[in-house]
Structure 1
Amino acid sequence: MTSLALAGARIFDGDVWHDGHALLIENGKVSGIVAESALAPGQAVRNASGTMIVPGFIDLQVNGGGGIMLDGNSGVAGIEAICRAHAMFGTTGLLPTLITDTPEATAAAVAAGIEAARIGVPGFLGLHLEGPHLSTARKGAHDPALIRPMRDADLAKLVAARRHFQVLMTTLAPENVTPEQVSKLAAGGVKVSLGHSDTDCKTALAYVQAGASLVTHLFNAMSPLGHREPGLVGAALESGALWVGLIADGVHVDPVAIRAALKAKTGPARIFAVTDAMSTIGTDMASFTLNGRTIHRQDGRLTLDDGTLAGADIDMVSTVAYLHRTVGLSLDEALRMASLYPAEAVGIGGFKGRLGTGKDADFVELTDALTVASTWIGGEAVHEASSD
Structure 2
Amino acid sequence: MKKIATYLGIAIACIIGIVIALHLAWYLQKSKPLNIYILDKTVTQTDRIEHKSLVWLLNHFRIVGPDGKSYNHKSDYWGFFPIDLNQQLFDIKSIRLNEVDAYAAVYDAAYYADCYGVYSYEWYKTETKAPNSSKVYGGLNQNDYFLLKRMKELNKLIIGEYNMFSSPTNALIRTKTEELFNVSWTGWAGKYCPNLGAINNGKGPAEWMVKLYEKQHQKPWPSKGSGIILISNDGLIDVLEEGSDLLTPIVKLITEPTMPQWQNNPKETEFYGWFDIIMAGIGSEVHATFKLETTPAGEEKLKSFGLKNQFPAVVKGYSDKFCYYFAGDFAENSVSIATSKLKGGKTLNSILHLNSPRNAFFNNFYLPLISNILNNYTSREQ
TM-score of the superposed pair, with normalisation by structure 2: 0.33
Higher relative contact order structure (alpha carbons within 8 Å, sequence separation ≥ 6): 1
Bigger Rg over Cα? 2
